């Protein structure tokens, strides 16, 4: 049977529940995923004086073909985008500035250092998001930045974050779509702290100073990202979920949840509905933790599907900004982008093909037997046939056929980088 024939049969399975599959695919087409650039170069960046990766971040593996220049990285992203249906965004870190061989300290970064990224984004119709880089730097070597007891070090990072927000505003103005500028810091202590409050007070004061600089929200959206622990901050992290959620609510900022930044028994999917009651918008960094925040490539696992279901069933597709955050150097990096982003889109499609109103009615009426039965039966409904049709309509390979493109690109481009 052809892709279209399979689609037509699958379509009928969902239509009996009142689901307009054509409308679902039209909506899916409009959902942008913010794809992180740092999968392509192992979070190295392009600073003139590069520092070793730090901040509790670890990239393992040495698969051939790592991007070592901005041009290579952009070319790799283009390759991944050609295999992913829809129109998406690219998420940059400050360390991906292009300074033409001149050393520019992070607190001195300006929009002009990202002009090539903006020109490229315009050419390909992409939005850009941004992150100040508060790791892999001499002034972050002791694991403290915005919460540092040294005022001069705090000031350096405050100025870097202010500069980053201005860069985000520049992205928004140039590209006609707001940039999400997200602050994550590694600050914390390896062992039990004797004072939890003072570092958090310093972080609050630093954020207040950063956000005192007015940036047009039409062009830039501010977000703060929490973490439960990291390498070197196993016992205490200054920017906890409670800290940042309280700060975001009080100061009208977005709270960004990274799916790998919570205790193993916590799930981001379970937090979304509560947070939507009190926040107009949320942001996500979708990753895959394996026992800790290991940032594995996103797979179509239960939690990913549950995150998507929560977004869809709560009518929050326009309220939750979805970004990705993983890095794996043990496999083809372009394939990693492709696998992770396609899986995020598959999860959203899976959630959009469920009869949520009917399931809600079953719960409200106390019919838990039918609710459970239907939830389980829907797991084996033919949503894969709908996905294949969507890929075909979006002119990208369906099923595993995209791997042929990856293998060819590896042979013609990636492997040759190793020989140069």
The residues that are catalytic are 184, 225, 227, 258, 261, 285, 293, 295, 325
What is the C-alpha separation between 342 and 269, in angstroms, rounded? Answer: 19
In sequence order, what are the residues at sequence separation of 6 or more whose Cβ sits closer than 8 angstroms to the Cβ of residue 45? 38, 93, 95, 96, 133, 136
Element holding 420 (H helix, E strand): none
DSSP for 172-233? HHHHTS-EEEEE----EESS--S-SHHHHHHHHHHHHHHHHS---TTTEEEEEE--S--TT-
Give which of 394, 386, 387, 402 is closest to 14, Cα–Cα.
386
What is the C-alpha separation between 92 and 175, in angstroms, rounded? Answer: 14
Give which of 45, 61, 65, 47 is closest to 420, Cα–Cα.
65
Yes or no: say if 72 and 417 are a contact pair by the CB < 8 Å rule. yes
Q: At how many degrees (to 10) do helices 383-393 and 21-29 cross?
A: 50
What is the C-alpha separation between 97 and 44, in angstroms, rounded? Answer: 12
């Amino acid at each position: 049977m052809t892709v279209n024939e399979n689609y037509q049969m699958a379509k009928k399975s969902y239509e009996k529940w009142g689901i307009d599959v054509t409308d679902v695919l039209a909506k899916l087409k409009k959902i942008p995923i913010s794809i992180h650039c740092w999968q392509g170069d192992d979070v190295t960046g392009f600073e003139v004086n590069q520092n070793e990766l730090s901040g509790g971040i670890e990239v393992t593996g040495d698969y051939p073909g790592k991007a070592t220049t901005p041009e290579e990285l952009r070319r790799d992203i283009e390759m991944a985008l050609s295999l992913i249906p829809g129109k998406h965004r690219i998420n940059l870190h400050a360390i991906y500035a292009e300074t033409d061989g001149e050393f520019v300290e992070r607190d001195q970064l300006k929009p002009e250092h990202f002009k090539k990224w903006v020109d490229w984004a315009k050419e390909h119709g992409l939005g850009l998001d941004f992150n100040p880089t508060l790791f892999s730097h001499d002034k972050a070597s002791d694991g403290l930045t915005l919460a540092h007891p040294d005022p001069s070090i705090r000031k350096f990072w405050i100025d870097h974050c202010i500069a980053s927000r201005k860069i985000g505003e520049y992205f928004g103005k140039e590209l006609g779509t707001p940039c999400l500028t997200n602050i994550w810091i590694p600050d914390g202590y390896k062992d039990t702290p004797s004072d939890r409050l003072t570092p958090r007070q310093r972080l609050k004061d630093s954020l207040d100073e950063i956000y005192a600089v007015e940036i047009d929200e039409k062009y830039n959206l501010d977000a703060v990202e929490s973490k439960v622990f990291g390498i070197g901050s196993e016992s205490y992290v200054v920017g906890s979920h409670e800290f940042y959620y309280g700060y975001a609510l009080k100061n009208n900022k977005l709270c960004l949840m990274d799916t790998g930044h919570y205790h193993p028994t916590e799930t981001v999917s379970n937090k979304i509905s509560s947070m939507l009651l009190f926040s107009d918008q949320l942001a996500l960094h979708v990753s895959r933790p394996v026992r800790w925040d290991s940032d594995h490539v996103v797979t179509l696992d239960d939690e990913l599907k549950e995150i998507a279901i929560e977004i869809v069933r709560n009518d929050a597709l326009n309220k939750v900004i979805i970004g990705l955050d993983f890095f794996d150097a043990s496999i083809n990096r372009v394939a990693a982008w492709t696998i992770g982003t396609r899986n995020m889109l598959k999860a959203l499609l899976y959630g959009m093909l469920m009869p949520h109103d009917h399931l809600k009615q079953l719960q409200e009426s106390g019919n838990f037997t039918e609710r459970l039965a239907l939830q389980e039966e829907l797991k084996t409904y033919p949503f894969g046939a709908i996905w294949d049709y969507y890929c075909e309509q979006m002119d990208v390979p369906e099923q595993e056929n995209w791997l042929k493109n990856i293998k060819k690109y590896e042979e013609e481009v990636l492997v040759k980088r190793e020989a140069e």
